[in-house]
Chains A and B, each alone.
Chain A
Amino acid sequence: MVNLSVNLCGLRLDNPVIPASGCFGYGREFSEYYDINMLGSFSFKGTTLEPRFGNPTPRIAETPNGMLNAVGLQNPGVEHVIAHELPEMKRYFQKPVIANVSGFSIEQYVKTCELLNAQEQVGILEVNISCPNVHGGGMAFGTSADSAAAVTKAVKAVTTKPVFVKLSPNVTDIASIAKACEDAGADGLSLINTLLGMRIDLKTRKPILANTMGGLSGPAVFPIALRMVYQVYKAVKIPIMGMGGVSSARDVIEMMLAGATAVQVGAANLVNPFACKEIIEQLPEEMERYHITSLEEIIGMAGA
């Protein structure tokens, strides 16, 4: 018998597989395909203080082995999420969930996190300081160690639940930003968010995305994500949720060897709604193949 469970900041997860924010909505569409209670947890759609429609369309472009998105944090706002989405979610997902939060000022992050921290369904807060698709916020906080630390400190001051800070890969030295978040009190780190990219339509000679640029995800980014998880694991002591192009049970094991305690799956869910189910079902077989009895024992072993 192999052991898939992991301890994430005191939260015992049945397995380390967690659908990533923005690729799983509030879980409802996936619950029509399979019982999503088999997941370790999931990170629901990024929430802001006010409702947001997001960017104009086209918001999606295909890339070799991946995709670009420029959705721009479309969400109904934190009050609607608390009043409608969370009670609805309780019907099809009974485990603690991860609340992903974005903002355009430190005050907005604080207020939104405070409200979600008070919801008993929320097990972890994931503070997104790395969205590449919004202006005047999002990634701006995640590209300097000082502002990343400032957001972390302000959110930690008003919350009691574990706070994971979601980091941007669009930086020169991700380890120094990770360290700044740890020093400011972060309980964990999520990485990576998408990489800024673009495509141009040869017929119109204009960018495909209405927002010109968007975030690259999918298998194309996996080696970059893995490298960054490895670097950050060496730099900090707090747990890491590793993500970026993870598409198989083998990728999950590789991410954990690099230093991830839990592994998020993003774009793969959009191509195959059963992606996470299949990964969880394949994990025991892959573990046996590589003589792994407990996933927790392999965390960070690649650099040990």
Chain B
Amino acid sequence: MQYQIIENAQIAPNVFLLDLAGDTSMVTKPGQFCQIQLPGFYLRRPISICDWDENGMTLIYKVVGQGTDALSRMESGAVLDILNGLGNGYDVNTCGDRPLVIGGGVGTPPMYGLTKALMRAGKQPQVILGFNTYEEIFLLDEFEDLDIPVTVTTVDGSFGVKGFVTDALPADCDCFFACGPEPMLKAVYRKCDTPGQLSLEQRMACGFGACMGCSIQTNSGPKRVCKDGPVFRKEELPW
């Protein structure tokens, strides 16, 4: 499927916001991802979907290697070949009424679409966003515009609560949703005693369940992060 770049702008150090126009009918749940084909690179790049509507979608990605670096240099008007609507996404229906949404660093983007979906489903979400330092913070204004409680933590204390997301956990939530680096997910997994859904990351080839490149062991057997995930329920993870 072809998507046209509307905007591709830096919003934090090495972090870019990519607005795309195109058919998003295959995107059905927050937390899903897409696979972008980049000229000169053999494998596609999996990027989570931050937000979408019927006319297009917003992705936020971090430059971590040559592929994402090439993506960051692409300009408005360019067309990208994208495989869309991949992965299971978050389930906003089978959860409590007071969800806690936890995003860490570049794991924050899908939590924006998720928070909006939770609100549409009649839930009252609270949000914690964790970053290393003040200058790395992004998406905060957008979250605050949703008129819900948002707490920011920074490792160096330059903004919000000093420490990690687990240093700011509220007591009054009945479930959690998390996306971020694996050490953060494991810390959240250990400290939150409510039911939870966690989005994992793995190096992938296909992104749609064919190659077994991203398999993990779970309590219900081997699962593919790309197809059976990337979102897994807490009880599935053998942590």
Contact = CB atoms under 8 A, between A and B. Distances in A.
Given A65-B42, A66-B42, A59 B214 contact: yes
Interface stretch (A3-11, A67-75, A90-98, A148-156): A67-75
A29 interface: yes
A270 B224 CA distance: 14
Interface stretch (B103-111, B173-181, B205-213, B230-238): B205-213
B217 A61 contact: no
Interface in A264-299: 267, 269-271, 273
Size class of the B contact interface (CB-based, 8 Å):
20 to 34
A24 interface: yes
Contact of B43 (A23, A57, A60): A60
B124 interface: no
Contact of B213 (A53, A66, A71, A273): A71
Contacts of A22: 211-212
Interface string B178-220: 0000000000000000000000001111101111111111000
A69 B205 CA distance: 9
A60 B204 contact: yes
B33 to A, nearest CB: 15
A57 B42 contact: no
Given A29-B209, A273-B83, A273-B208, A53 B215 contact: yes
Nearest to B222: A53
Contact of A63 (B42, B208, B212, B215): B42
A67 B217 contact: no
A169 interface: no
Contacts of B67: 62
A303 interface: no
A30 B203 contact: no
A208 B202 CA distance: 12
B191 to A, nearest CB: 25
> Which of the four size classes fits the interface of chain A?
20 to 34
B210 A67 contact: no
B227 interface: yes
Contact of B37 (A54, A60, A67, A271): A271
B74 to A, nearest CB: 18
B202 A67 contact: no
B29 interface: no
Contact of A60 (B41, B214, B217): B214
A25 interface: yes
Nearest to B67: A62
Contact of A74 (B41, B215, B227): B215
Contacts, number: 84
Contacts of A179: none
Contact of B211 (A62, A63, A69): A69
B42 A45 contact: no
B211 A58 contact: no
- Which of A23, A57, A208 counts the most B-chain CB atoms under 10 A from its CB? A57
A244 interface: no
B213 A25 contact: no
A24 B212 CA distance: 10
B210 A30 contact: yes
Given A29-B210, A45-B212, A74-B222, A62 B202 contact: no
A60 to B, nearest CB: 4
Nearest to A55: B215
A218 interface: yes
Contacts of A24: 210
Contact of A58 (B37, B202, B222, B227): B202
Interface of A: 22-25, 28-30, 45, 53-54, 57-67, 69, 71, 74, 208, 218-219, 267, 269-271, 273
Interface of B: 37, 41-44, 67, 83, 202-206, 208-217, 222, 227
A-B pairs, top 9 by smallest CB distance, nearest first, are A270-B206, A60-B213, A58-B203, A29-B209, A74-B212, A60-B205, A25-B210, A270-B205, A59-B213
25 contacts: A23-B210, A24-B210, A25-B209, A25-B210, A25-B212, A28-B209, A53-B217, A54-B212, A54-B215, A57-B202, A57-B203, A57-B216, A59-B215, A60-B204, A60-B205, A60-B213, A62-B41, A62-B42, A62-B67, A67-B42, A218-B42, A267-B205, A269-B210, A270-B210, A271-B206
